Amino acid sequence: MILTYIKWRDASYHDASDSPKPIVELAEMVEVGLLIAETEEAVMIGMEYSADGTHPGRWRATIPKVNIVERKDVDLAKAFNLGPEKKPRKPRVMKIKPAEPSVVKNESPS
Protein backbone atom coordinates (compact mmCIF):
# COMPACT_ATOMS: atom_id res chain seq x y z
CA MET A 1 0.00 0.00 0.00
CA ILE A 2 1.13 3.51 -0.81
CA LEU A 3 0.60 6.51 1.48
CA THR A 4 0.24 9.67 -0.62
CA TYR A 5 0.67 13.37 0.30
CA ILE A 6 -0.85 15.78 -2.23
CA LYS A 7 -0.84 19.58 -2.23
CA TRP A 8 -3.26 20.87 -4.84
CA ARG A 9 -5.25 23.90 -5.96
CA ASP A 10 -9.00 23.91 -6.05
CA ALA A 11 -11.71 26.39 -6.96
CA SER A 12 -12.75 28.83 -4.25
CA TYR A 13 -16.14 30.40 -3.75
CA HIS A 14 -16.92 33.77 -2.23
CA ASP A 15 -20.18 35.39 -1.31
CA ALA A 16 -20.63 38.80 -2.94
CA SER A 17 -21.29 40.24 0.53
CA ASP A 18 -17.70 39.33 1.56
CA SER A 19 -16.19 42.01 -0.64
CA PRO A 20 -17.54 44.44 -3.22
CA LYS A 21 -14.47 43.71 -5.40
CA PRO A 22 -14.05 40.32 -7.09
CA ILE A 23 -11.58 38.02 -5.32
CA VAL A 24 -9.61 35.91 -7.76
CA GLU A 25 -7.73 33.21 -5.88
CA LEU A 26 -7.53 29.46 -5.71
CA ALA A 27 -7.75 27.47 -2.50
CA GLU A 28 -4.58 25.51 -1.75
CA MET A 29 -5.46 22.16 -0.20
CA VAL A 30 -3.42 19.37 1.42
CA GLU A 31 -4.61 15.76 1.39
CA VAL A 32 -3.00 12.65 2.85
CA GLY A 33 -4.39 9.20 2.19
CA LEU A 34 -3.92 5.71 0.85
CA LEU A 35 -3.50 5.54 -2.92
CA ILE A 36 -6.55 3.69 -4.24
CA ALA A 37 -6.38 4.33 -7.99
CA GLU A 38 -4.66 6.50 -10.57
CA THR A 39 -5.29 7.36 -14.22
CA GLU A 40 -3.60 9.74 -16.63
CA GLU A 41 -6.01 12.45 -15.48
CA ALA A 42 -6.57 11.90 -11.76
CA VAL A 43 -5.43 10.36 -8.47
CA MET A 44 -7.86 8.75 -6.01
CA ILE A 45 -6.91 8.52 -2.34
CA GLY A 46 -8.87 7.23 0.63
CA MET A 47 -8.62 7.25 4.39
CA GLU A 48 -9.05 3.52 4.84
CA TYR A 49 -8.62 0.18 3.10
CA SER A 50 -9.47 -3.37 4.13
CA ALA A 51 -6.55 -5.08 5.86
CA ASP A 52 -6.26 -7.63 3.06
CA GLY A 53 -6.09 -4.82 0.47
CA THR A 54 -9.17 -5.91 -1.47
CA HIS A 55 -11.74 -3.19 -0.64
CA PRO A 56 -11.18 0.56 -0.63
CA GLY A 57 -12.82 2.34 2.27
CA ARG A 58 -15.85 4.57 2.51
CA TRP A 59 -14.24 8.01 2.04
CA ARG A 60 -12.44 8.73 -1.27
CA ALA A 61 -11.17 11.89 -2.93
CA THR A 62 -10.42 12.16 -6.64
CA ILE A 63 -7.97 14.96 -7.47
CA PRO A 64 -7.26 16.12 -11.05
CA LYS A 65 -3.53 15.80 -11.81
CA VAL A 66 -3.47 19.21 -13.51
CA ASN A 67 -4.34 20.75 -10.12
CA ILE A 68 -1.53 19.01 -8.20
CA VAL A 69 1.27 21.31 -7.05
CA GLU A 70 3.24 18.73 -5.05
CA ARG A 71 2.99 15.00 -4.47
CA LYS A 72 4.97 12.52 -2.35
CA ASP A 73 4.40 8.77 -2.18
CA VAL A 74 5.70 6.47 0.56
CA ASP A 75 5.46 2.70 0.82
CA LEU A 76 3.38 2.16 3.96
CA ALA A 77 5.17 -1.06 4.96
CA LYS A 78 8.59 0.62 4.75
CA ALA A 79 7.47 3.82 6.48
CA PHE A 80 6.13 1.97 9.52
CA ASN A 81 8.29 -1.17 9.42
CA LEU A 82 5.26 -3.39 8.75
CA GLY A 83 5.35 -6.85 7.28
CA PRO A 84 6.84 -10.18 8.26
CA GLU A 85 7.92 -10.53 11.85
CA LYS A 86 11.61 -9.95 12.33
CA LYS A 87 13.66 -11.79 14.90
CA PRO A 88 14.19 -9.64 17.97
CA ARG A 89 17.68 -8.30 18.29
CA LYS A 90 19.84 -9.61 21.07
CA PRO A 91 20.16 -6.84 23.67
CA ARG A 92 23.55 -5.23 23.99
CA VAL A 93 25.23 -5.57 27.34
CA MET A 94 27.61 -2.83 28.36
CA LYS A 95 30.53 -3.83 30.51
CA ILE A 96 31.20 -1.27 33.18
CA LYS A 97 34.54 -1.23 34.91
CA PRO A 98 34.17 -0.86 38.68
CA ALA A 99 35.35 2.45 40.06
CA GLU A 100 38.62 2.55 41.94
CA PRO A 101 38.09 3.04 45.67
CA SER A 102 39.03 6.52 46.67
CA VAL A 103 41.22 7.12 49.67
CA VAL A 104 40.28 10.05 51.84
CA LYS A 105 42.78 11.14 54.45
CA ASN A 106 41.20 12.27 57.61
CA GLU A 107 43.44 15.03 58.83
CA SER A 108 42.63 16.43 62.16
CA PRO A 109 44.04 19.74 63.35
CA SER A 110 47.01 19.36 65.69
Tens of pLDDT along 50-78? Answer: 777 777 778 899 999 999 999 999 998 88
Give, in order, the Cα–Cα distances in Å from 78 to each of 31, 33, 36, 84, 107: 20, 16, 18, 11, 66
Q: Please tell me the predicted confidence (pLDDT) of residue 88.
A: 53
pTM: 0.66
Answer yes or no: is pLDDT of 23 > 80.
no
CA-wise closest residue to 25 among 11, 41, 43: 11
Res 110: pLDDT: 55
User: What mean pLDDT, rounded, does the chain reach?
Assistant: 81
* Least confident among 3-7, 35-39, 47-51, 104-108: 104-108
